[in-house]
Amino acid sequence: MNKSTIPYQVIVFLVYLSLQVFFFDNMVLFRTAFCFVYLGFILLLPLQISATMLITVSFVAGLIVDMFYSTPGINASASVLVGFIRPYWLSLITPRGGYEDIDIPRLKTLGFSWFITYAIPLIFVHHLSLFIVEAGDLFNFWFVINKTFFSTIYTVGILVIGQYMFYARVRYI
């Protein structure tokens, strides 16, 4: 991440954080599906970001959400896990041509199927770790799995809709 993209990333972070805290905090479906839209910020960070910077940014994003939600470190730990796994997952799903011409892993630059393959496992891991820590044990295993599954679908759906609505169409030939 070079110095010219830092102000842009700060603005994007503030937008995702504001959406999470002021809007999606109250958008719970059937007391089961929760949307953690701030994950979009972590998922859409530049591909060339260093692992240390990615984990640090993930920690800060999760910690700020924790401060607003009064959850002591739950979002921070789940976000750090996603920040840790993201580079390995990206290396496993690298397209044939690589990521040379692409700076940010957006839906419209890499395609719908690639983005779904990229986002769903990372969001699922985030939600699973968050809900396991929140539950405190595995006695409610099926409830945690149910919450994780529906929250993953909800979050991915909101992120896909948001990308179609707000990011400009870019065509690579």
Q: What percent of the chain is predicted at pLDDT more than 70?
A: 91
Please give the structure tokens belonging to residue 82: 């996603």
Crossing angle (nearest 10°) for helices 51-69 and 6-18: 30
Please write the tens of the pLDDT for every residue from 50-59: 999 999 999 9
Tell me what pLDDT residue 2 has: 55
pLDDT at 171 over 60: no
Measure the CA–CA gap between 84 and 146, rounded to whole angstroms.
25
Instruction: State pTM to two decimals.
Output: 0.88
Please write the tens of the pLDDT for every residue from 25-45: 788 888 888 999 999 999 989
Please write the tens of the pLDDT for every residue from 105-149: 888 888 888 889 999 999 999 999 999 998 888 788 899 999 999
Domain range annotation of the chain: 6-166
Tell me what pLDDT residue 47 has: 85
Q: Which of 5-9, 13-17, 137-141, 167-171 has the lowest mean pLDDT?
A: 167-171
Tell me what pLDDT residue 70 has: 87
